Structure 1
Amino acid sequence: MVGSKHEAMRRLFQHHPEVFGRAFDALNLPFPRPTTVSLLPNDLTEIEPLERRVDTLLRIDTDEGPFLLLVEAQGKNEKGKPSAWAYYLAHVHAKYDLPPVLLVICQDKATASWASKPYDIGPAQWASLILRPLALGPHNVPMVNVADDAANDIPLATLSAITHAKDPAIGAILKSLATALQRIDEDDALIFAELTELGLGKSPAGQLWRQLMTVDLSFFRSETSQRMREQARSEGIEEGRTEGHAEGLAEGLALAVLHMLDGRAVAVSDQVRERVMSCTDSDRLLKWLDKAATAVSADVLFGDED
């Protein structure tokens, strides 16, 4: 079954495949810049009742010739995946007679390291096939944590937010993306905001993203936005507008800090809860949020301030 992270990656790369060209440039990968990108059917099922679906299949045309790009979102080490990936590559190569490349999107370096290792198929004496995936993750996707940079490249900023979901600096990354989304067309902002939520899922970073989105939802009009509005009202958060925007942002960040600690099962005393909720300094709250991602106790948040 396709999960939320797979769906987010699929939609991001299907609707904004230009992100690959920029990723190739940023990582100095040996691929020419795309001239056109075409979405191909992702159903690789044969007549036999065995379903095989790659997350996304694209045809990339360049000045040096076309190739196929298969995109898979991978959250953990799975024993049977390399065999499935080898099947995908062999199948599309036979079907389209074009050279294929497998791109695996990960949220942690360990999974990316596993996914990118060569995988030999055949006896030890003679490998008949050698699988060589290309993995993107927090170790090689640029960290976009400045609002201006995010606004200049929203698709890459979205990919950065999803792949860096477990990074202690995710607070600054998400704040930059949230700020950038308020500068673009409302419909586009809606798409990228929901893609980010799908990609982050129910993680602490996902909780933070939902809190940030309660601050200014004037451009949010989907079922997701309605649900988040109701959540905001239930927690007493006013939608940030005009002079109340800064106050709303601070309250949203304060709630995100507490959600992060609660999600990691860190005990929070009434005194700590009151101190966090009464803070109106967004920069300080972001620092506390970064600390909350790894804190073993709530007191760690204020260690250099007391």
Structure 2
Amino acid sequence: MVGSQHEALHRIFQHDPGMFARTFRELKVPLGVPSEVALLPTDLTEIRPLERRVDTLLRFTTSAGRFLLLVEAQGECDPDKPSAWTYYLAHAHAKYRLPAVLLVVCHDRGTASWAAKTAQLGPSFWAGSLTMSPLVLGPDNVPVVTDPATAADDVPLATLSAMTHAKDPSIDAILKSLAAALRGIDEEDAHIFAELTELGLGNAQAAKTWRHMMTVDPAFFRSETSQRLREEGETKAVVRNVLRVLERRGFVVGDDVRDRITSCTDLDVLERWLDQAVTATSVADLFVDGRHA
């Protein structure tokens, strides 16, 4: 059965597909900056009685071309996995006609070391006829992120650091840095990363530490930084809506009007303009009451 800790290890990549570029740089794999990342169906079943489902399947588009990235979370050594992973790679390649690479994410060094071994599935006299060698993320190659500024620069990587270093002596410092970083991002994203972290820590003692950190401060997600970011997001959304209504109603929005609307930071004024944009007979009507602008 798929456990919550297992889910967290690969779902973090689904939440932030661009994380793969950063992850690959940590692994010293020369991946260009992706121009597009598409989440593909994970069902690789070829015939109904044999269900094959990879954890996460992404299609990357870079300046060098397209390729598939298959992500598997692995919590323990499993002798049946190498053949399954080989199947995933071969079938994904055949289905999408693109090069494919497998990334395995592990909690502990033992599992990571086992997963990193090249699987020789061909016969001894011609072993090279079928081999499989995945990329592996684990405690040895995921950085220990204990600096709050570093965590703030890359929250997904800081989250993955907490998951893969749950038993590291520095885990408390990792969690404190991650908690500080979450205060500065969008509230919804912060909740997602906080939950993924708790799930990814599993039954480790660090999970109790993390839950305590999330409950001791009931205003955790109501910090000044989070509030400011939310207000800025709401303001930008209303600005877009005002301009959209005017344009959809056929008004020509000159540069001076556009600048006045986009430079306004008063949410109340913007919402009043949005209401008036619906009934205005001219762009000038938008600013009939200009006392607050």
What is the TM-score of this pair, normalised by structure 1? 0.70
Which one-letter code corresponds to 2:89 in the other structure? Answer: L
Partner residue of 1:5? Answer: 5
Match of 2:197 in 1: 196
The unaligned stretches of length 5 or more in structure 2 are: 225-293
**What amino acid is aligned across from residue 159 of structure 1 in structure 2?**
L
1:233 aligned residue: none
Note the C-alpha offset of 1:60.
0.8
Mean Cα deviation higher: 3-12 or 54-63 = 3-12
Q: What is the alpha-carbon distance in structure 2 between the residues aligned to residue 43 and residue 170 of structure 1?
A: 35
Which residue does 1:251 correspond to in 2? Answer: none
Q: Please tell me the residue identity of whatever aligns with 2:147.
A: V
Determine the structure 2 residue equivalent to 1:170: 171
| Counterpart AA for 1:81 | K
Amino acid at match of 1:103: L
Q: What is residue 80 of structure 1 aligned with on the other side?
A: 80
Q: Distance in 2 between matches of 1:110 and 1:183?
A: 35
8 A contact 1:158–1:177 mirrored in 2: yes
Which shows bigger deviation, 205-214 or 45-54? 45-54
CA distance, structure 2, for counterparts of residue 6 and residue 51 of structure 1: 19
What per-residue deviation string (whole Å, max 9, x for no partner) do you get for residues 213-246 of structure 1?
112233569xxxxxxxxxxxxxxxxxxx99xxxx
Percent identity for Structure 1 against Structure 2:
65
1:82-127 CA-to-partner distances (Å, cap 9, x unmatched) read 0100010011010000010000001112211110111011210112
Is 1:31 equivalent to 2:58 in the alignment?
A: no
Secondary structure in structure 2 of the residue aligned to 1:140: coil
Q: State the partner residue of 1:214.
A: 215
Q: Check whether the contact 1:186–1:219 (CA below 8 A) recurs between aligned residues.
A: no
CA distance in structure 2 between the aligned counterparts of 1:49 and 1:3, rounded to whole angstroms: 23
Q: Does the 8 Å CA contact 2:10/2:105 hold for their aligned counterparts?
A: no
User: Structure 1 residues 209-218 or 98-107, which shifts more?
Assistant: 209-218
Shift of 1:44: 1.1
In structure 2, the residue matched to 1:60 is: 60
Greater Cα offset, 112-121 or 43-52:
43-52
1:99 lines up with 2:99 in the alignment: yes
How far off is 1:59 after superposition? 0.3
One-letter amino acid matched to 1:3: G
Give aligned pairs, total: 223
Aligned partner letter, 2:198: E
* Matching residue of 2:239: none
Q: Deviations over 1:132-169 (max 9, x none)?
A: 10001110111111111111111111111111112111
Question: 1:181 offset after TM fit, Å?
Answer: 0.8
Contact 1:189-1:219 within 8 A present in 2 as well: no
Alignment of 1:280-291 (within 5 A): none
Give unmatched runs, 5+ long, in structure 1. Answer: 222-240, 243-306
Output the CA distance in 2 between the equivalents of 1:217 and 1:201. 23
SS of 2:120's equivalent in the other structure is: strand
Which letter does structure 2 place at the counterpart of 1:175?
K
Residues of 1 paired with 2:3 and 2:46: CA distance? 23
Alpha-carbon deviation of 1:179? Answer: 1.4
C-alpha change, 1:67 and 1:217, in structure 2 (3 Å) is: farther
Which amino acid in the other structure matches residue 54 of structure 1?
Answer: V
Aligned counterparts of 1:47 and 1:23: Cα–Cα separation in 2: 34
For residues 177 and 185 of structure 1, what CA distance do their matches in structure 2 show?
A: 14
Higher-Rg structure is 2
Match of 2:15 in 1: 15
TM-score (norm: length of structure 2): 0.73
Letter of the structure 2 residue corresponding to residue 24 of structure 1: F
Q: Deviations over 1:38-88 (max 9, x none)?
A: 000001122231221111000011000010000001111111000100010
Q: Secondary structure at the match of 2:197?
A: helix
Instruction: Confirm or deny that 1:155 pairs with 2:137.
Output: no
Deviation at 1:198, TM superposition (A): 1.1
Q: Which residue of 2 aligns with 1:115?
A: 115
Q: Contact 2:6 / 2:75 at 8 angstroms: preserved in 1?
A: no
